Amino acid sequence: MPPNNAPLVLASSSSYRRELLERLQLPFICHSPDIDETPRPNESAQALVQRLALNKARALAKDYPEHIIIGSDQVAVLDGDIMGKPGNAASAHRQLSAASGRSLVFLTGLAVLDTRNAFEQVDFVPFTVHFRTLSAAQIQRYIAAEQPFDCAGSFKSEGLGVSLFQATAGSDATSLVGLPLIRLCDMLNACGIAVP
């Protein structure tokens, strides 16, 4: 039986997620939803990323009634504290100083909503980054070179950020960039999307 591929929508404006999804060689469009990303009181990082990923997909459901919508969200966690996007150099310096010589766990929430039948799938993928011990000068040079202000944890693993690492551990390196493709393929297959 031939696959019944519905059009895909990536619920994101992230260029990183768009580039990752392009690897699957499936046509898709991007539409960034407008949702409140404020954490709830006492909400765990895992619950936060799953809720936000699903809310991003659900926010577009009425606009795309015959589509498969992909939502994703990511946070970095250090000692149980959530680290979001730094937004500026001072915050990035604080985040990288805190991470120096330590391990951060990145949690990436992933949701797939098939609006043809209201079938929802949601999950999260953890990935650990063990940082080198970084000097203030190394951190300053890195921030000046990459300006990672839109990245949770203040680094771009697909760029110069890899120079900050001592080691990584996880089942899907693409989750670190913001869209876990291995898990996404499972979810798309469950919707009848042929990958590859």
Q: Catalytic site residues?
A: 73
Dist CA 31 CA 68 (whole Å): 12
Q: Which helix (H) or strand (E) holds 104?
A: strand 103-114
Dist CA 192 CA 8 (whole Å): 12
Q: Which is nearest to 187 in space by CA: 106, 120, 107?
A: 120
Dist CA 44 CA 25 (whole Å): 34
Contact in structure between 24 and 185 (CB atoms under 8 Å): yes
